Structure formats: C-alpha cells, structure tokens
Amino acid sequence: MITIAQETDLFVYRRLDERELTAYERDGFLHYGPVLTPSGLRRMIDEVMRAWSAEKGPFDPNRTWLQNALLPNIHHQSDMVRRFYFHGPIVDVAEQLIGPNIKGATSQLTFKMRGNTKAFGWHQDNGYGELEPYNAVTCLTALDDTDESNGCLWIIPGSHRRGQIPVGEAGSAEAKKAQREITLNVDERGAVPVRMKAGECVIFHCWTLHKSEGNRSPDRDRRILFLRYADADAVEVYNDRRPRLGRLIRGGTRFPEVEAFESDLPV
C-alpha cells in the first residue's frame, strides 16, 4: 500500500498556470507533465502489466478490438493506479478545469501492443458516454514514448468549440454497453500529433475531437492509462439522465448513490 508520504516520490504535482488555463480554453487540450517520477513510472508499469498479462497478453489478431485494446476499471486491480486516480496530480488539474466537486468517471488501460495496427477514428469522448454538465476531462498518461510510428494520439485544436456532435444510435446506452466504435467524418486539416514521453500526459475536453492510428512499430508498444473526471453531479444524458456513478474524489454531491459509490475501496 502506498502512503501519502510516498506519493511525492512517485507522482509529480503541479497546478496549471494562467497561460495553460488560457491554452486549454482555446485549444481544448494540454500536453502536461511529467506526472510520474521515474520510480513511479516503473511501479505503474509493473502493476498494470501484471493485470494486463493475466487477462489479455500479447496482441492476438483473432480477438476483437475491444479484447485487444481495453482493460476497464484498472483501479480495482492496481494500488498505484488507485492512488494516482484518487490523489494524483491530475486531480488538482481537474479541480481547476471542472470545479470543486469532482468524481472519477472512467479508469482503464488503452493499449496498442506491437502488431495492433487497427486505427481508432475521430470521436469525442462524450460521444461514448454523454455527460452533463459538459466539462468532463480525459487524461491519457503515456507508459511508453508515443509518436506517429506506434499510434500516438491526434487532436484537432479548438474542435471542442463545436459542442456535442450527435452520434445517433451509436451514443445510446445499449451502444455504450456494447462498446460500439464511433467514427465521425470531420475536416482533419489542422490536426496535430501529440507525441509524449513516458510519464507525461495529455488532458483534453470531453468535446475535443481526437483519433489514433495503428501501431506500426515492429518492436514498441503504446500503452496508455486512460482516466476521466467529471463534475460530481454529472448525469448520463443517454441513460435517462441518471447520475454517472464514480468515486467522489473532492467536494460534495447531491446524489447519495455517488456519495456511497466505491467508498469502501482502500486508498
């Protein structure tokens, strides 16, 4: 178990300055970090790879994209992820971008292991789970150096200003449960690759358009820790406006079911 005293040896804490806040409002994303120290990165990789290897293993062309790419609720299997998710540096950033009342909305591993050449098309994260208020943020922390050769993220700066893009049946509760893939046809002129060093992250708005190409590297994986934060009172528009369940991380909520959710998890 990680203690509070140990966290500064593992995590790098820094709040956003005014320049970064202005850039986030303008562009809908920030390249931020590092958020993990070298020892924190090693420990994070060690813990998540034990979970990944137990359930997934190497890329298998006979599996679906979901089976090859995603491992949900990784904070249930890793003490390191749980501490990072609930108490790490991104919580301070989320408070600056969302407000004082915050819950965790998603934790998962999003991996493109070598051999996985499948692209993931343009989409908004709010297309896969429309939350209101529309200020949820996604944080992708790189566990490997990422660039165009191994499937780094691409973003269209300023695309969050378009607002929520309707996706019809693809955004329904049934589609979300089935993890159906959403691909939007967009003008991708101006798209930029987000190259990261291991231990850095990119933070972006729930409306920001992004995609990733396949991993074409013969000898490099592209492993990402995906965390999403939302207002503590955020509701699922696609699910009769029920409250999104997630661990209450800071502040309060009007929903008792959120207050109680995962309150028994060790921290």
> Tens place of pLDDT for every residue, the chain, 267 residues?
444 545 889 999 999 999 999 999 999 999 998 999 999 999 999 999 999 999 998 889 899 888 999 999 999 999 999 999 999 999 999 999 999 999 999 999 999 999 999 999 999 999 988 999 999 999 999 999 999 999 999 999 999 999 999 876 444 454 454 455 667 888 899 999 999 999 999 999 999 999 999 999 999 999 999 999 999 999 999 999 999 999 999 999 999 999 999 999 987
Report the C-alpha gap between 264 and 244 in whole angstroms: 18
Parent domain of 77: 4-260
Domain count, the chain: 1
Q: In what order do the strands lie in the sheet with 242-243?
A: 131-132, 235-236, 242-243
pTM metric for this prediction: 0.92
In a domain, 189, yes or no: yes
The one-letter code for the residue type at 195 is: R
Strands 29-32 and 201-205: antiparallel
In a domain, 266, yes or no: no
pLDDT at 167: 78
In a domain, 41, yes or no: yes
In a domain, 21, yes or no: yes
In a domain, 230, yes or no: yes
Report the C-alpha gap between 256 and 58 in whole angstroms: 41
For residue 31, what is the domain's CATH number? Answer: 2.60.120.620
In a domain, 10, yes or no: yes
pLDDT at 6: 52
